[in-house]
Structure 1
Amino acid sequence: MTTNRRPVIVGVDGSPASFGAVRWAVDEAVRHGQPLRVTHAIAVPGAFEEAADEHEVALHAAVEARNWQPGLQITTSTWCGSPGRVLVDQSQSAALVVVGSRGMGGFHSLRIGSVGLQLAAHARCPVLVVHHAERWASPEMPLPQRQPIVVGADGSAHAEFGVELAFAEAMSRGVPLIAVRAWQEPVHRWGRATDLGRFATTAHGALAAELEPWRAKYPTVPVELRVIQGAPAPALLDVGRDALMIVLGPRGAGGFDDLRLGSVTQQVLDHASAPVLVARH
């Protein structure tokens, strides 16, 4: 996370999930010394412009945020335009954008709404998607504090953004970090036996080497390495089931260079129960 005074932006729509997202955004802003900007977007046809007359939703969320953290610097804004477009635009000057996985719109069977996916694919800063954010809409429900942070590390440049962000989050929270590397058995050819132990050992050594510079930079963060045979998304979802959050790059190794969001990141966003932090750079 950057240490400048760019704001943490949280998108609100008046739903319980958006109030839960506000609590996560307040926590992030306080821990990283950032101001908070509460943003509401009204999806109506017309110009993309600020709408001061429709400000009640953002103001109400800001009042609640001030009740939780009276000393936090908070501003509000309300815009006409699609919520995804508004927040992507605002992300250009933000340190972090926080949203609930689903707000008032969409289908209840969906784990993540279109706004979260649009941000994960196009934002110009890290994006925190808080799954089931309504769990934390009330201040009586404490935010998770001691669970580990899980990060996916496949050796790609995009994954390294996630590793860096995960170490910074773990240090700021004083929690351990679990780094996950998935590997898959190669296709058998000509009836040759595969030495699976050798592949696992190689994957473990590569993961340890990639994390070494970050362990040196963040020596107080306890780190556990998990090298798992199987597809990456199920491995991350399994390890991250009880995590404080899962941190990923926007895409990993493989796929097409012009993809904004990789299939593993999208699967984790679709199915995770924990908040997911996408390290857009």
Structure 2
Amino acid sequence: MRDAEILVGYDGSTDASVAVDWALEEARHSGQPVRLAYVFEWLTVAGWVGPGVAPGVWPDETARRQVEELVRKAAADATATHPGLTVTGQVYDGPPALVLQERSAEAGMLVLGSRGHGGFGGLLAGSTAVSVAAHAHCPVVVVRDGADRAPVDASTGPVAVGADGSQPSLVALGFAAERAAQRQVPLRILHAWTPGPGGAAGVPDERAAVEQALEPWRRTFPELDMTVDLVPASPAAMLIEVSRDARLVVVGSRGRGGLAGMLLGSVSQQLIQHANCPVAVVRER
């Protein structure tokens, strides 16, 4: 779905603006249209909560017009700074997580900021973020504000991907390879492993399995610089550490150790909360 739009959760907050910036950069490389989605959530008793507007009785037409103007201006500003892109905005009604999950069925990618206010209050604080990433029908990119990350050259930082041989990780590998190739930056493939009784004797077998999974992408992107790192550490700790120097970390929704029926693995959840760069959680459609 390369022609499908990039959907961005937008509520006027600083973190949402960071997500918009990331989505615009992605669209610059991919050529996809971008849609800013404000989800207008309201409370039946106290009224709705929105940025810069006092709570009112629903339906509050003045408040809705303000929200529509907020989204219109954000889309217009994005178009002005990125004249080659198609950027639109739309206001939806309902619970933010549920609405975004539903809209993701028609999107090529869903991009979210780390926190929000108003209609997105608490959207990415804990379980709601996990719910969006677990149930969305397309890849979900969570863009954190980066306040706690180490300095990195955003133009050359690698795309990093966790690979454990599971089907979700193979899908994530393809997503990561495409992003790295588009940006002409290195692709770093990381495989966490636990040494057995033979210690490092199992390294060749582990590396051979990862290299085999990489072979189709080496043929597809022969100019792409790919490196494989085998690290004797927990997957989450390894990827969080790597995120300090990466421009994007990509993981599958579940790993090889996931329990049957789980929609999102613990590694994905920990990265959403603690990574120092944007995180892409990729599910099979």
Mark the CA change 1:15 to 1:78 in structure 2 (over 3 Å): closer, same or farther: same
User: Is 1:236 aligned with 2:229?
Assistant: no
- 1:144 aligned residue (154, 161, 167): 154
* Paired-residue identity, %: 36
Whether contact under 8 Å (2:146, 2:276) holds in the other structure is no
Displacement of 1:70 after TM fit?
1.9
d(CA) in 2 for partners of 1:26, 1:143: 18
d(CA) in 2 for partners of 1:268, 1:196: 28
Match of residue 120 from structure 1: 133
Q: In the alignment, residue 98 of structure 1 is paired with which amino acid? A: V
User: Is 1:36 aligned with 2:52?
Assistant: no
Match of residue 182 from structure 2: 172
d(CA) in 2 for partners of 1:82, 1:159: 30
d(CA) in 1 for partners of 2:126, 2:263: 17
Match of residue 58 from structure 2: none
d(CA) in 1 for partners of 2:42, 2:29: 35
Q: Structure 1 stretches of 5 or more lacking a match?
A: 136-141, 187-193
Task: Give deviations 1:20-64, integer Å, cap 9, x for gaps.
Answer: 111111111221111111100122147xxxx96431332232122
User: Is 1:100 aligned with 2:113?
Assistant: yes
Displacement of 1:12 after TM fit?
0.7
Q: In the alignment, residue 32 of structure 2 is paired with which amino acid? A: Q
Q: Structure 2 stretches of 5 or more lacking a match?
A: 45-60
SS of residue matched to 1:261 = coil
d(CA) in 1 for partners of 2:125, 2:210: 30
User: Is 1:16 aligned with 2:32?
Assistant: no
Output the TM-score relative to the length of structure 1.
Answer: 0.86
SS of residue matched to 1:58 = helix
- 2:199 aligned residue (190, 196, 206): 196
Displacement of 1:174 after TM fit?
0.3
- 1:278 aligned residue (275, 278, 281): 281
Q: In the alignment, residue 29 of structure 1 is paired with which amino acid? A: A
Please, what is the CA RMSD of the aligned residues?
2.2
Output the TM-score relative to the length of structure 2.
Answer: 0.85
Task: Give deviations 1:51-102, integer Å, cap 9, x for gaps.
Answer: 9643133223212211220232122111121111111111000011111111
In the TM superposition, 1:32-71 aligns within 5 A as 32-45=30-43, 53=65, 54-71=67-84
In the comparison of the two structures, how many residue pairs are matched? Answer: 259
- 2:267 aligned residue (256, 264, 269): 264
